[in-house]
Structure formats: C-alpha cells, structure tokens
A and B are shown apart, each in its own frame.
Chain A
C-alpha cells in the first residue's frame, strides 16, 4: 500500500492514469446509475437486480462476439434491443406485482431476480471471467513517452457511452413518451387523470432501464472484465451514485459517477483489486451518513 502511495509522488504522471481509469469506470457507472434513478424516480422501485442486468448485457455481448464473431460495438444496439424485451418480461412477471407493495417487498423481489439472473449466467456460461475482444482493441494510445498506455477500445467505449446517454436524455426531454414518463414521475394519479396509461409507462420505464443496463454491460464487457458474480457490486455502486446525487439530478449523477470512478481508480491501483467491494461499501456508508447529517438540520430522514 505504501509503495503505491510513494509511486504517486515519484511519478506524478501515474495520477493521470488513475484519473483516466476512473473516468472510464465512471462513464459506465453513470449509465447504470441513470437507469436506477429513472426507475426509482418514476415508479419508486429500488432495483437490486440493476448490476445483474448489467452483467447479463455484458454476457450477451461476449456471447455474440465469441460465438458469431460479431464486433462488440455492432452488438451494442442488438444487446440493447434484447435487454429491452427482457426488461419488459421482467416487469410483467415480477415488478408489476410488487410496485404498489411496501418497499422491502420490491427490494426482496428484485434481489430474488438478481439471484436468478446471476445463477443462470453461472450455469450457462460458467464462472470464469470473460471479456469481449474487439478488432479495435489492438491499437493503443501512448502518453508521457509510453509510461501510460490507453487501449483504444476504452476511448471508443466512453464515446459510445456518451452517445447512448445523449440519445436517452434527448428522448426523455423531447419526445411525447418521455414527457409522459416525466409526468408520471411527478404525479402518477394526475398523469392517469390526464389520460396517460401509467401501467404502460411503468413497463416502458423498466424496459428502458434494462436496455440502458444492457448497453452499460456491453461496454463493461468491451472495456473491462465480466463475471457472473460481479453484479452485486454494480448494484451497490448505482445506489451510492443515486443516493449521493439525489433523484432527477442529471449533472449530479454524472459528477457522482465520475467521483466514484476516480476513487475506485486510485483504490484499485494503490490497495489492489481485492478491496474493491470494501471501497464501494465504504463510499456507500460515507454518502449515507453525509446525507443523514445534512437532513438532520431540516429534521428529516432518508426514507
């Protein structure tokens, strides 16, 4: 650990590497956290299967790449489409029945869903770590005279991530359906009176969330590694980000995601990857305590 810190001062350029790593992580976290903020805000669902949807999307990409030789970048829209319908099915089978019940019911139902997805991936694809190899991955950017190497695929991944995010935000802000979703988030009853089919809006919201998770999973599979049991960490990260940013706060989500990404970039390089979950949980506790202290002043609690 001390060696890692010493290195920071000896070679200040490694800071750039850690921060870049953090930004690559953060762009993916931002995407899945935005999905969580969407379902949380619209239908008040705390989705514990968020991370497993991400990993499922990653496995689809990996499967298309390794079985059919498709370029992972081309599979991105395909995976998003499949995950959209997967989300729809999950909504009809599970989520629909629990959204009007108490919070723990929906939390536990999605936790059960997370178990099903996780174990299913484990049975079908095996417990090994996988990564989708892209043609693009061969090329590398060299910075600081070769001290820092950035694979091209990560840069492409961030660009793709930005494209998905911009498309999504435009959809939410400009389209008629996006307007209906936002109206339902503000007041579901009033939206119903105005002739919006809220049940359909909920289904659509959950499917969109699932598609976003699929896209973020595809990017994880391209840029990093996937493994059936990595899902829960992604879920907790999404919670950290959404809790830190608050609902309906897009710049906040992006900032928090990059902040968490940079924190993890430093922690992974200094402490080693075996403290990954600890760092995430530590961040969660810090964020929750910080919000609690802030709400104390207003005599409110985080429900």
Chain B
C-alpha cells in the first residue's frame, strides 16, 4: 500500500471520527467545523511555505476575496446586480425570506465562483509577487493583504468598512445550519487534503521542493519555476476561496478588517499551525491545526485580553525552540513512517 493511499485512509478515518463526534456533541459542531477550516488554512499555507519555501504572510487575502465574491453573488441573485449597492447601503435592514433550495444554490454557486475568482487573482498577483524572493515575498504579501483590506474598506459598493450582512439560512431547526457548514468544511478539507497530498507526491511536488532547495539550480535544470510557483499559489487560492465563501455564510456578517482579511488572526494562525505541526510534511499542518485549535479554544477566553500577546510569544517560542515542528521531529526519529529511506553508511556499519 502506497503512502498516499495510507494517508487517505487515515484522513477518512479522522473524518468519520469527526462526524461521530459531531453527532454525539451537537453543541460543539461549530467548533469542529472551524477546526476543519483551520486544517484547510494550514494545508494551503504549507503548499507555499513548506513545500515551495515561499513564506507568504498574505495568503489570507484569497480567503477574504472569496468571501466577498460569494456574498456579492448571493446578494445579486436575490436583487440583481443593480440592487447590490442598495442592499449594502441599507446595512442589514433589508430582511428577506428565502427558500432553502435557493439559499443552497446561491451558496454553492457563490463558493464555486469565489474559487475561480481567487484562482484568477492568484494568477495575476503571482506574476508580480512570486518574482520576489525570501523576505521580500513575505513582506510584499503582508503589504498586499493590508492594502487590499484597506481598498475594500473604502469601497462603498461592497459595504465599505461597515460590512454587509447576508441572508440567513431558512431552517426551522436551528442546529441544521451548523450541520450544513460542518459538512461543507469537512468536504472541502477532505478534498483539499487528498488533492494537496496527491500533488506533492507527483513530479509537481518534486519541482516545488527543488524550488525550495535552490531556485537558481532548479531553473538551470529546466524547471519553469515561475509557472510552478504560480500554479501552486493558484491551488492554494482555490481552496482558500472556497473556505472563505463558506465561512462568510457561516458568520452571516462580513466586514473587511476582522472577518474577511483577518491578518493577525487567521493570517497568523495559518503560519503558526503549519510551523507547529512541521512544515513541508503532509500531516504537519493537519496535526498542527488540530492541536493549535484545541489549545486556543480551551485557553483563549481565560487570558483576559492578553491572548494576542500570548500568540506573539507562542510564535517566538515555536520559531526559536521548535523549528522543525511535531511531524518534523517525528520524521527525524522514525523516518520509515514517512517513506524516507536512509542509506546506511557502509563504512560506519562495518566498524
């Protein structure tokens, strides 16, 4: 059994476990859904940060763009494109009765369109930003997300800084919407895991690793590095756009700085989670996301406002003392679990 198939089976097991957990503890269903969102965030970050060595601090931009695209499409389906401005300027005072089928149709169409638009954005931005290397890429992307957030918050048509509220899911049973978003995130994260772990096991993944190890040499070996880099960013952007679209519907109200482009929450979490789990590994982001989310949810509320200070300290501690992450340290001790063959030094073996 190949390692890829084994990983898929394990992930299917985790998914089934999560479904059972969600059925047993329906009160925590939103928490588990957000946990799968975290897994998606960490995995998509790792495709650049871990596999390709391009440490982005601005991947969260696609999350926000996806959220806005999907929301605007859903509103436009109800009111037509001309009615969007009217709806957003009314800032939530327009309430509408919507049928369940229409809602679901709008949500899935919006999410799909969000993914496509994000891919286009990644293609265009990638042509410029992926030319920058190392620290310039990190700072450039950080600036990019800040600038986009600023532009969105002064764009009246999409509700500017005040944000916009979305139609509410029409359900008699209040737990039904929670279940819907839970299954959406579960499905996206499963597809994301399957796709990313497949793509990193192919030639494409090897090319990304070559770019990480030495970009100049990779280019000299005939790898068209910019194409690979942009493609990898497009893959991440697609899944981030989908996740953002669903998250917009889940939170029902979107706003540029805190919800759509949360640079210091999700934008930093995704880096921390991937580093905690071990970057550049298939399981690292998943493990990191699960552990980080559980720690965060159990301790966050007790820190009385000092949670952001704690987050900063956590980043510093992980970076300084725990650079390899959980899976990275495991790979060092048990390389055969990861399919890494270590050739024994013949001289050492003989002595």
A to B CB contacts below 8 Å, 12 in the list: A108-B55, A109-B316, A112-B315, A119-B312, A120-B309, A277-B150, A278-B151, A281-B146, A288-B132, A288-B136, A292-B132, A303-B133
Q: Which of B37-45, B87-95, B137-145, B203-211 contacts A (4 or more CB under 8 A)?
A: B137-145
Residues on A with C-beta less than 8 A from B129 are 285
Least CB distance from A281 to B in Å reads 4
Pairwise interchain contact B55-A116, C-beta atoms closer than 8 A: no
A98 at the interface (CB under 8 A from B): yes
- Complex Cα distance, B147 from A112, in Å, reads 21
Residues on A with C-beta less than 8 A from B153 are 274
Residues on A with C-beta less than 8 A from B305 are 123
| In the complex, residue of chain A having the shortest beta-carbon distance to the beta carbon of B149 | A277
Residues on A with C-beta less than 8 A from B9 are none
Residues on B with C-beta less than 8 A from A235 are 139
Q: Which of B105-153 contact A (CB under 8 A)?
A: 128-129, 131-136, 138-140, 142-144, 146-147, 150-151, 153
Residues on A with C-beta less than 8 A from B57 are 111
Pairwise interchain contact A277-B323, C-beta atoms closer than 8 A: no
Give B residues with C-beta under 8 Å from A.
49, 55, 57, 128-129, 131-136, 138-140, 142-144, 146-147, 150-151, 153-154, 215-216, 264, 268, 271, 275, 305-306, 308-309, 311-316, 319-320, 323
Pairwise interchain contact A289-B312, C-beta atoms closer than 8 A: no
- Complex Cα distance, B306 from A123, in Å, reads 8
Pairwise interchain contact A277-B143, C-beta atoms closer than 8 A: yes
A78 at the interface (CB under 8 A from B): no
Query: How many chain A residues have a CB neighbour from B under 8 Å?
Result: 45
Pairwise interchain contact A277-B147, C-beta atoms closer than 8 A: yes
A154 at the interface (CB under 8 A from B): no
Pairwise interchain contact A119-B309, C-beta atoms closer than 8 A: yes
Query: Quick one: CB contact mask for A275-288 with B, threshold 8 Å, 1 for yes?
Result: 11110111011001
Least CB distance from A68 to B in Å reads 26
A contacts with B: majority SS:
helix
Pairwise interchain contact B150-A115, C-beta atoms closer than 8 A: no
Residues on B with C-beta less than 8 A from A292 are 131-132
Residue among B55, B140, B147, B154 making CB contact with A288, cutoff 8 Å:
B140
Residues on A with C-beta less than 8 A from B320 are 94, 97-98, 105, 109
Pairwise interchain contact B146-A109, C-beta atoms closer than 8 A: no
- Complex Cα distance, B311 from A285, in Å, reads 29
- Complex Cα distance, B319 from A97, in Å, reads 9
